[in-house]
Each structure stands twice: as C-alpha cells, then as structure tokens.
Structure 1
Amino acid sequence: MSDQTQPWADQTTQPWAERTVEVPPQRDGFQRGVASVSPRAPRSERSTESFPVAPHEETGTGWPIEDEPRERMPLAYHLRQLRKGSHWSTLGGLFAFVCWGIWAISARGDFTSPVVAFLLTLLVAIGLFALARLLGRVVLERQLGRVRRSARGAHLVAGIFLAGVGVAYLRQTEWVVNAWNWIAGT
C-alpha cells in the first residue's frame, strides 16, 4: 500500500472499504444512471415520409469524359518521352551511316548522288518514326485508353528500318558481296 499522506499518492490503491465516493447533487429531477425515454407512437401514427435525397455532384474522379478537356503536359515532358528509346534509332542510324560510307567510297565517283540518297533515307526514317508515333497514339491512347510513357516502339521501328537500309547498301557493294560469298562458301 502506498502512503496516503503524500499528495502524489494514487487514489486507486486505497482499499475499497476505506474509499468514499461523493456524488454531486442532482438538478432538475434527473437521476444518475437513468435515461429519460419518451414513449413510441403506435405504428399507424408513424410518418411514412422517405428521407430527402441529395443531388449527385460530379467529383472529377473516374473515367474522363470525352468532351472534358485534359490537362496539357509541358513541352519538356514530351521531349523527355521522345528521348526514351532513342538508342535504337541511333544504333540503326549509325549502322546505316557506316554501311552507306562503305558503299559510297567503293563507288569511286561523285558524292552528290550518295549524299542525296542517304539524306532521303534519313527523311524516310523520320517519316516512319512519325507514322509509328501517330499509330501508337491512335491505337494505344485513343482506342485502348492507355498512357504512353516512352517512344521505344517508334524508335525500334525506325532503327530496324535503318539497319535494313544499311544491309541493302552493303549488298550493293561488290567486294562485300564477294567476301560474304567466300566466307559462306558458295
């Protein structure tokens, strides 16, 4: 037992017999522990009114409505999105450039035609990249409702095209074809 003379002593340590409980005086005729309940009206007298219904308010969550304009993303976001996957186009372009260089040097003539041919090839690759992006926008974003987070697919398509063009340049070079036939044994 704790010493009850101390001001910090816990009151819960007193034995139950020694504890005294003071009940404050009651006001207005209420009794402690007794709730006042009004009697229920008979079922026939009860109101049958329904509760009022609040009107539906749009919160802006859920699927976007087609007429509702979407937030425009900043230009930096779109440029960052276009850079993702650019290594595929860069690799294809580098391969096409090296193969074009081999073809142009082995032709031993004026470089005007080969330069125009390579620039035309690059323009076709850029157009193919743009077409792949447009197709991805129509199919993935509009029809399927997905969000594109990169341009990897379009860069891959352009890179494969440029690698194919590089192989086509090599197939037009006589000494490369002869070396390939010698290695293949045909």
Structure 2
Amino acid sequence: MADRDTPWAERTVEVPPQRTADGDVAGVFQRGVAQVGQAPATAPTEPFTAPHEPTGTGWPSEAAHPGWSDGPPAAARQPLGYHLAQLRRGGEWSLLGGLFAFVCWGIWAISARGNLGSPVLTFVLTMLVGVGLFALCRVAGRVVLERQLGRVRRGARVAHLVTGAYLIVVGFAYLRQTEWVVGAWNWLAGWF
C-alpha cells in the first residue's frame, strides 16, 4: 500500500544486483546517480544499412505535387538589388538611343515653331513605347532562354540593344520630318 501513497514519478523498481565479468556489482539503483557504463555486448558494432532499391512505389512524382522533387533544392530567390543590377547591364545602349532620339526630337520640335504641347506628348509616348519594347524583350528572354532552354541570363544587354535600336530609328524618323535637315541631306547626297 505504500505505492498508493507515493506519486508515480517517485516510485522506483529495485533491480537485483548483477555481477559483471570483472566481479563488480552492476545495476544497483541509486537515487540521483546516473548509471553510465559500457554498451551491451549484444549491440551490433556496425549500424544496419541496406542498399536502396527503387521499386516505383513511394512518394508521388513532381508532376503530382509541385514543390516536391527528388533533385537538388531549387535556387533561392535573389534579392531585389541583384535583379536591378541585372537590368542595368547593357543600359548604355538604351541611354545612347534615348539621347539620340531626344536630340533629334529637339531639332524637330524647335523647327516646328509652334506650341510644344503636342511634340512633348509625342516624345513621352515614344519613350513609353520604348519601355514597353524593353519589357517585351525581357519577358521573351525569360520564356525562351530561362524556361525553354534552361540558360541563366546574366544581364539585359539584348533588351537594351533592341530598345536602343528602336530609339535610333525613331530619331531618324524625327529628322526626316524636319524640312531643313532633309534639304541639307539632299544637298550633301548631290555631291557624291
């Protein structure tokens, strides 16, 4: 009946003393003293390992559960600064095209000798089309290069080159609408 009065956490079971090969007594319980000894002799010396044999059963495939895969973990998302640095690579081409378009637009707008509201709106819309073209090139590059071909893009050089070429063509279009520039071009072409 003494077991009923003591809480279960304080109950102990007495184990009869056992003699080891050296003749020492082992297995005697002492309150507050941890029993540290050798591993039992029956324990295997090497852990059990078996070769893996794929049977075709087990976890579902990647197609069944996206996000689960047997391959290496997906690349971690890059910080925003990394993506902005990628967008800046090749930016000199867009800058050069934008500067050329701006100078040609300025020549065209000044020679019009009128209200500058319409030419400013025209230039702003031209630049917005250039930004849209740049974005379209980036999306096409992502779909074709990264997803279809599995390549990593290291910058935006091609998108900037296409945008710069577009802006240079727009600049020449502005010059072709300027009367005195066309006259000077025809005069120079007459010499050759």
Deviations 1:56-97 (A, max 9, x none): 7xxxxxxxx783454211000000000000000000000000
Partner of 2:51: 53
Displacement of 1:54 after TM fit? Answer: 3.0
CA distance in 2, matches of 1:80, 1:52: 49
Task: Name the aligned partner's letter for residue 135 of structure 1.
Answer: A
Flag structure 2 segments of 5+ consecutive residues without an equivalent.
1-48, 55-61, 68-73
Normalising by structure 2, report the TM-score: 0.63
Matched, 1:128 2:113: no
Which protein has greater RCO, CA pairs closer than 8 Å, 6+ apart? 1
Structure 1 runs not aligned, ≥5 long:
1-50, 57-64
The TM-score normalised by the length of structure 1 is 0.65
Match of 1:8 in 2: none
Question: Which residue of 104, 111, 115 maps to 1:110?
Answer: 115
Larger-Rg structure? 1
CA distance in 2, matches of 1:52, 1:179: 87
Q: What's 1:158 paired with?
A: 163
Runs of 4+ with >6 A deviation: none
Q: Aligned-pair RMSD on alpha carbons?
A: 1.8
Q: Deviations over 1:96-155 (max 9, x none)?
A: 000000000000000000000000000000000000000000000000000001000000
> 2:78 & 2:183 partners in 1: Cα distance?
54
* One of 99, 105, 116 as aligned partner of 1:100: 105
Residue in structure 2 matched with residue 71 of structure 1 by the alignment:
76
